[in-house]
């Protein structure tokens, strides 16, 4: 993988690349900004200028002064008390994304951590040393990043080379000493929106890949069911203004160009059901939502999200207590993308039903080779329906969740981390639903194989599936096929029409 260099700021694609293993290095300007901010904090400590989390407590303890002798202890204690996550661990790539986003935030030069802190975090990435981070427990940020920060002070646990070990052992194996935190560093290590932003980058990478597969799989279903193509003509779709509709319409036309099955069914119906006819509209809306979310995440990465933020010079330091660690815009954008994912996966489930339902498909019942003796894809559709319903429940906006914390000091919560974690869970479901549609559409095309030739643009997708799975004839547990198809979607990009 190519090395990613942080000069001013990273974008979501860079964070996603680092999450998957790309090396990260910082440019000279980034290191200068980090060092400059650290010297400002050192002046604040020496001068005694009142600064939140530097020489005061945190949260509702913001007005409690912490003497200079206790400021190191404050930093360490923040990590200990804030590392209270619960539940299953985040995936390694998700933890790596959070670390990368945090380094990016520090590199803006307004946090005040020493360069040693950033070097330790880079070492975690370089050696793929992944702190154990429970997925649940954050009302906004704090807990996830506290579990990461524990490791760089030799506490907590981490996974290295597939083995779980203490933070101290992990640091010893990668050749660095546990750090002793200075004033403000404990707060900076848990503060900001790096957790939700990093997870949002992973969600964007997965959603972008899924949207490409969604168009390709939907084209296979359209072909198998003999869809009426006038609804997807360029001039027709241009009547509704949307970049996403235009993109999906172009993808469907490219996939289905030259299809004998489509040509054989031209004019067979006045119009198709909406789960077929409205594919450009639903997939296009999801694409437009994706673009909006990506822009929001990139703005978050370009922003300072630490509280307090330091500025000025060591000779004339400035420190501002503000609310940049709160991220309503991010939580709203992630919620919107979650609704879009729920909607297109619900539409996919409806197409699966049309493929397996002999009343509308014109195909053998449930796509079984021997209906009656075999149930084919009957129960696979049940699974898709169950996952679609779960996505509907998860689609409720996290950004509207309530909650009052820290003795009324934090009496508004935007819940961007909850929005990101929820979106990732919905993508799990959506990938499986579209994988089931892929299996069903390929089976339907097998059953149509003697009627007319497939389009080259759908055949390349069909062949990608058949390279790993034979046609299903009720001869093996269907769950195995569903898992393999889901892995194909989750681990690769959809074969391009140009791959023919």
Q: By residue range, what is the domain housing residue 434?
A: 200-493
**Which value, to the nearest 10 degrees, does the dihedral of the CA atoms of residues 382, 383, 388, 394 take?**
130
**Which value, to the nearest 10 degrees, does the dihedral of the CA atoms of residues 397, 400, 404, 410 take?**
100
| CA distance from start to end of the chain | 26
Check residue 338 and give its pLDDT: 98
- Asked if residue 161 and residue 257 are part of one domain, the reply reads no
Q: Which of 33-47, 245-259, 429-443 is the least confident region?
A: 33-47
Check residue 55 and give its pLDDT: 77
Give the bridge partners for 319, in sequence order: 310
- Model confidence at 497: pLDDT above 90: no
Please check whether residue 498 lies inside any domain of the structure: no
- Asked if residue 273 and residue 142 are part of one domain, the reply reads no
**CA distance readout (Å), 475 to 370, 376, 439, 479, 481:** 12, 10, 15, 12, 11
Check residue 412 and give its pLDDT: 65
Tokens standing for residue 485: 């198809």
Check residue 49 and give its pLDDT: 80
Please check whether residue 319 lies inside any domain of the structure: yes
- Asked if residue 272 and residue 126 are part of one domain, the reply reads no
3-class secondary structure per residue, 296-347:
HHHHHHCCCCCCCEEEECCCCEEEECCCCCCCHHHHHHHHHHHHHHHHHHHH
- Stated as kind and residue range, the H or E segment containing 88 is strand 86-89
Listed residue (85, 116, 110) closest to 98, CA to CA: 85
- Model confidence at 293: pLDDT above 90: yes
Listed residue (481, 13, 467, 454) closest to 216, CA to CA: 454
Check residue 218 and give its pLDDT: 98
Q: What percent of the chain has pLDDT over 70?
A: 96
- Asked if residue 184 and residue 55 are part of one domain, the reply reads yes
Give the bridge partners for 131, in sequence order: 158
Question: pLDDT tens digits, residue range 72-115?
Answer: 888 899 999 999 999 999 999 999 999 999 999 999 999 999 99
Residue 484, number of CB atoms within 10 A of its CB: 14
Chain-centroid distance of CA 215 in Å reads 19
Check residue 409 and give its pLDDT: 67
Please check whether residue 365 lies inside any domain of the structure: yes
- Total structural domains in the chain? 2
pLDDT band at 24 (very low <50, low <70, confident <90, very high): very high
Check: CB of residue 341 under 8 Å from CB of residue 432: no
Cα three-residue angle 31-35-39, rounded to 5 degrees: 170
**Pick the residue with more confidence: 199 or 324?**
199
Distance CA 329, CA 130 (A): 29
Question: pLDDT tens digits, residue range 351-371?
Answer: 999 999 999 999 999 999 899
462 is catalytic: no
- Asked if residue 167 and residue 18 are part of one domain, the reply reads yes
pTM for this one? 0.96
- What contacts 268, CB < 8 A, 6 or more positions away? 226, 228
Give me the catalytic one of 52, 141, 462, 472.
52
Residue 297, number of CB atoms within 10 A of its CB: 30
Q: Which of 168, 191, 214 is the last residue of a domain?
A: 191
Question: pLDDT tens digits, residue range 394-438?
Answer: 999 989 887 777 666 676 678 899 999 999 999 999 999 999 999
- Asked if residue 214 and residue 182 are part of one domain, the reply reads no
Please check whether residue 499 lies inside any domain of the structure: no
Please check whether residue 72 lies inside any domain of the structure: yes
Please check whether residue 344 lies inside any domain of the structure: yes
- Asked if residue 402 and residue 352 are part of one domain, the reply reads yes
**Pick the residue with more confidence: 313 or 407?**
313
Q: Which of 191, 217, 238 is the last residue of a domain?
A: 191
- Model confidence at 393: pLDDT above 60: yes
Listed residue (409, 358, 318) closest to 109, CA to CA: 318
Q: Which of 156, 191, 226 is the last residue of a domain?
A: 191
Tokens standing for residue 107: 């590199």
- Asked if residue 169 and residue 267 are part of one domain, the reply reads no
Listed residue (229, 259, 233, 217) closest to 456, CA to CA: 259
Q: Which of 52-66, 128-142, 167-181, 273-287 is the least confident region?
A: 52-66
- Asked if residue 159 and residue 12 are part of one domain, the reply reads yes
Q: What percent of the chain has pLDDT over 90?
A: 83
Please check whether residue 14 lies inside any domain of the structure: yes
- Domain containing 279 — which CATH number? 1.20.200.10
Please check whether residue 500 lies inside any domain of the structure: no
- Asked if residue 24 and residue 127 are part of one domain, the reply reads yes
**How does DSSP classify residue 495?**
P
Average pLDDT, the chain: 94
- Asked if residue 342 and residue 384 are part of one domain, the reply reads yes
- Domain containing 21 — which CATH number? 1.10.275.10
Q: Is there a cis peptide before residue 353, judged by omega within 30 degrees of 0? A: no
Q: Which of 41-55, 123-137, 146-160 is the least confident region?
A: 41-55
- Asked if residue 388 and residue 266 are part of one domain, the reply reads yes
């Amino acid at each position: 993988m190519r090395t990613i260099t942080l000069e001013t700021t990273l974008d979501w694609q860079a964070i996603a690349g680092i999450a998957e293993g790309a090396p990260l290095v910082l440019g000279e300007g980034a290191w200068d900004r980090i060092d400059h901010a650290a010297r400002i904090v050192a002046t604040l400590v020496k001068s005694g200028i009142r600064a939140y989390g530097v020489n005061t407590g945190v949260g509702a303890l913001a007005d409690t002064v912490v003497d200079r002798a206790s400021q190191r202890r404050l930093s360490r204690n923040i990590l200990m008390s804030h590392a209270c996550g619960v539940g299953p661990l985040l995936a390694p790539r998700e933890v790596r994304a959070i670390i990368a986003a945090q380094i990016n935030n520090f590199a803006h030069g307004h946090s005040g951590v020493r360069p040693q802190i950033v070097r330790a975090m880079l070492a975690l990435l370089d050696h793929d040393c992944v702190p154990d981070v429970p997925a649940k427990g954050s009302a906004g940020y704090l807990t996830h990043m506290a579990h990461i920060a524990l490791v760089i002070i030799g506490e907590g646990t981490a996974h290295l080379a597939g083995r779980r070990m203490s933070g101290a052992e992990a640091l010893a194996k990668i050749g660095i000493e546990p750090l002793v935190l200075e004033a403000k560093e404990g707060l900076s290590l848990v503060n900001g929106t790096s957790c939700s932003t990093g997870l949002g980058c992973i969600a964007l990478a997965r959603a972008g890949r899924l949207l490409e597969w969604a168009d390709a799989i939907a084209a296979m279903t359209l072909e198998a069911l003999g869809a009426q193509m006038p609804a997807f003509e360029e001039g027709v779709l241009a009547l509704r203004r949307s970049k996403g509709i235009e993109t999906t319409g172009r993808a469907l036309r490219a996939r289905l160009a030259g299809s004998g099955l489509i040509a054989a069914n031209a004019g067979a119906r006045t119009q198709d059901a909406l789960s077929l006819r409205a594919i450009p509209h639903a997939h296009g809306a999801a694409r437009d939502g994706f673009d909006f979310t990506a822009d929001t995440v990139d703005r978050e990465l370009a922003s300072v999200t630490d509280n307090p933020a330091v500025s000025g010079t060591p000779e004339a330091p400035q420190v501002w207590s503000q609310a940049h660690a709160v991220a309503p815009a991010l939580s709203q954008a992630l919620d919107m993308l979650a609704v879009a994912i729920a909607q297109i996966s619900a539409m996919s489930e409806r197409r699966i039903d049309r493929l397996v339902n002999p009343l509308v498909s014109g195909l053998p019942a449930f796509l079984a080779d021997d209906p009656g003796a075999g149930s084919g894809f009957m129960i696979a559709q049940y699974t898709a329906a169950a996952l679609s319903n779960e996505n509907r429940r998860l689609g409720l906006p996290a950004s509207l969740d309530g909650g009052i914390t820290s003795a009324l000091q934090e009496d508004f919560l935007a819940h961007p981390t909850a929005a990101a974690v929820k979106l990732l869970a919905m993508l799990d479901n959506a990938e499986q639903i579209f994988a089931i549609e892929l299996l069903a559409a390929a089976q339907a095309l097998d059953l149509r194989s003697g009627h007319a030739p497939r389009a080259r643009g759908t055949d390349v997708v069909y062949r990608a599936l058949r390279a790993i799975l034979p046609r299903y004839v009720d001869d093996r547990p269907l769950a195995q096929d569903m898992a393999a198809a889901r892995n194909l979607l989750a681990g690769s990009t959809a074969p391009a029409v140009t791959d023919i």
